[in-house]
Amino acid sequence: MTGGAGHLADRLRALLGPERLLDGNLARNLYAHDGSIVTGDCGMVALPETTEEVATCMAMAHAAGVEVTPRGSGTGLAGGAVPLEGGLVISLARMREMGEVDTANACVWVQPGVLNLDVSMAVEHLGLHYAPDPSSQAACSIGGNVGTNAGGPHCLAYGVTVQHVLGLELVRPDGQVVVLGGEAPDPPGFDLRGVVVGAEGTVGVVTRVLLRLTPLPPDVRTMLLDFMTVAEASATVQAIIAEGIIPAALEMMDRNMALAVEEFVHAGLPTDAAALLLVEVDGTRAEVDTATGIVEAVAHRHGVRTVRVARDEEERALLWKARKTAFGAVARVRPSYYLHDCVVPRTRLVEIMEAIGEITARERVICLNVFHAGDGNLHPIIALDRSDPDETERAMRAGDQIVRACIALGGTLSGEHGIGVEKREYMPLVFDSGDLEAQACVRRAFDPDGRMNPGKVLPTGTRCGEVGLADTQVPEGTWI
Ligand SMILES: Cc1cc2nc3c(=O)[nH]c(=O)nc-3n(C[C@H](O)[C@H](O)[C@H](O)COP(=O)(O)OP(=O)(O)OC[C@H]3O[C@@H](n4cnc5c(N)ncnc54)[C@H](O)[C@@H]3O)c2cc1C
């Protein structure tokens, strides 16, 4: 480490102590990865515990002209938390305090390192929960959820992260601390929360978040439906919503995924069906009864083979365990996986599932599908062994074709995982140069020097007027 970065490491060590400034090879290697297959280059890692420490770290990095990458739990699937060219990673993992719950207004301030699931567990006794529930919720942080505008199975009915962030505290790239939004129902001035939520760490570091809490539903029922064709399952998804029912969750799993999960979780999933739907309805007992009846009737009209209704909380938890551990079950097929989380209009589900089948067959890769069918948010998981260069190459080719097929069907690049590094060069498929320039200008208004998480979200060479953003190239060969 040389020059400004070396000097910065000394200053940060003096601030945080040697155990909270990591620049050894092990740490630099670990923090050069996240849940994706992107490999980056990490210079040093700071582990602050307070907003004041984050602000001082940011001011020091500003003075030294060093790039900063914020990081939560590192479960991201698009390379967002992976630093690309050395620089400073600010990990928020030690900032895990929750404030007092405001029960009258159903909200709570939390630090960004608090894990998603811990919020719901902490407020359950008050009859509340935090609705966005990524499948990674036992591991991912609220700061990372804000960074990616995370979704989850229950976001179909309840909305994604941005709908649950009432306010946030942001440390700007020069170390200045600002608060956006807050308890007031209609805060004056521009509402900039939506710029920060989903910005993937490119506008500053989020150090506190005011979360909206949602009452626990009085009743809930979970059903598992199985079909002998993906087309019947897809048609059922559309038809349920066309009946005017928005289930709390409406998830699909194909046969490959059911096989992998069943071996692992033993939830009694039918492994001979082409597709399974996990449908959850909630509300009052009467609403749940009505919705269950409608879902069953619609499913029978579309060829469902069996409808299994969870008898009790234990069975319901088992079905959700099967859904939420699905990504991990892929390890039974291959040691690694590669996926995109593109979205298509719900009405195009049949076509995209057929296209994914054709693409993955042509490229001779194993694909397991498990996804948020209700909002058309796909997760075609291509199982791969990264030590096999040929299989890896075929997986990349298949991923590329799947992205393009989704866009061709009127879809978009990401439903919840973000753009990060993985999808940034696809951005011109959905935005013209004027759109991209406008986004670059918004980013530059927050980060004039282009030091916040450079190389993420916007494609290489995107400019704001005459001024280019940091033109970080992903170095050849560092992806996997
Ligand atoms: C098994 C598995 C299942 C998953 N299921 C889902 C799912 O259902 N829904 C879903 O949305 N995602 C899912 N994900 C992806 C991932 O868990 C989410 O993207 C999550 O929001 C990332 O949180 P994190 O704390 O790990 O963030 P990280 O990966 O550390 O960071 C993600 C992004 O946020 C930025 N960031 C992190 N903290 C801050 C901060 N304090 N201030 C500013 N920027 C910050 C980072 O720079 C990066 O760009 C899954 C991942 C796995 C491995």
Domain-embedded: residue 340: yes
- Ligand 1 within 6 A of CB of 135: yes
Nearest ligand 1 atom to the CA of 80 is 49
Neighbours of 30 (CB within 10 A): 14
C-beta of 70 in contact with ligand 1 (< 6 A) = yes
Question: In this structure, which amino acid lies at residue 29?
Answer: N
In ligand 1, the atom with minimum distance to the C-alpha of 137 is 17
- Quote the ligand 1 centre to 144 CA distance (angstroms): 4
The residue assigned the tokens 């308890």 is 183
Q: Is the pLDDT of residue 98 over 50?
A: yes
Neighbours of 108 (CB within 10 A): 24
How does residue 468 score in pLDDT terms, banded at 50, 70 and 90?
A: low
CATH of the domain at 43: 3.30.43.10
CA distances (Å), origin 274, targets 173, 227, 238, 249, 323: 50, 6, 17, 20, 16
Same-domain check for residues 309 and 344: no
Same domain for 187 and 113, yes or no, is yes
CATH of the domain at 139: 3.30.465.10
Residue 443 reports pLDDT greater than 80:
yes
CA-closest candidate to residue 4, choices 91, 87, 90: 87
Would you state the pLDDT for residue 5? 79
Ligand 1 centroid distance, CA of 160 (Å): 13
Please tell me whether residues 349 and 365 are part of one structural domain: yes
Q: How many residues belong to the chain?
A: 480
29-52 pLDDT, tens per residue?
Answer: 999 999 999 999 999 999 999 999
The residue range of the domain holding 33 is: 3-91
| Angle between the N-to-C axes of helices 349-362 and 230-242, in degrees from 0 to 180, rounded to the nearest 10 | 150
Pocket test for ligand 1, best of 140, 146, 447 (most atoms within 8 A of CB): 140
Report the distance separating Cα 432 and Cα 443, nearest Å. Answer: 17
Would 11 be classed as within a structural domain?
Answer: yes
Do residues 116 and 99 touch, judged by C-beta distance below 8 A?
A: no
The atom number, within ligand 1, closest to the CA of 92 reads: 41
What total of structural domains would you count in the chain?
A: 5
* Residues 304 and 242 placed together within one structural domain of the fold: yes
Q: Is the CB of 75 under 6 A from ligand 1?
A: yes
Residues 58 and 148 occupy one common structural domain: no
Q: pLDDT digits over 313-334, tens only?
A: 999 999 999 999 999 999 999 9
Instruction: Specify whether 257 is located in the same domain as 206.
Output: no
Q: Which residues contact 393 (CB under 8 A, 6 or more apart)?
A: none
Task: Give the residue carrying structure tokens 């990264």.
Answer: 386
Of the chain, the percentage scoring pLDDT greater than 90 comes to 92
| pLDDT bracket for residue 81 (50, 70, 90) | very high
Q: Is the CB–ligand 1 distance for residue 22 below 6 Å?
A: no
Confidence band, pLDDT 50/70/90 cuts, at residue 3: low
Average of per-residue pLDDT across 15-33: 97
Cα 35 to ligand 1 centre (Å): 9
pLDDT of residue 188: 81
Q: Are residues 125 and 151 in the same domain?
A: yes
Residue 376 and residue 343 in contact, taking contact as beta carbons nearer than 8 Å: yes
What span, in angstroms and rounded, lies between the C-alpha atoms of 216 and 219? 9
Asked if residue 480 has pLDDT above 90, the reply is: no
Q: What is the mean pLDDT of residues 184-213?
A: 94
Same domain, 204 and 233: no
Q: Whose CA is nearest to atom 34 of ligand 1?
A: 147
Residues 113 and 211 grouped into a single domain: yes
355 domain-assigned:
yes
Mean per-residue pLDDT for 234-253? 95
Q: State pLDDT tens for residues 109-158.
A: 999 999 999 999 999 999 999 999 999 999 999 999 999 999 999 999 99
Q: What is the mean pLDDT of the chain?
A: 94
Q: Span 164-173, mean pLDDT?
A: 98
Coil, strand or helix at 229: coil
Domain end marker among 327, 357, 387: 327
Nearest to 218 by CA among 197, 248, 191, 245: 248
Alpha carbon of 76 to ligand 1 centroid (Å): 4
Probe ligand 1: pick from 96, 136, 265, max atoms within 8 Å of CB? 136
CATH number at residue 311: 3.30.70.2190
Ligand 1 center from residue 340 Cα (angstroms)? 14
Report the pLDDT value the prediction gives residue 185, as an integer from 0 to 100. 81
- pTM comes to 0.94
- Considering the domain architecture, whether residues 8 and 84 belong to the same structural domain is answered as yes
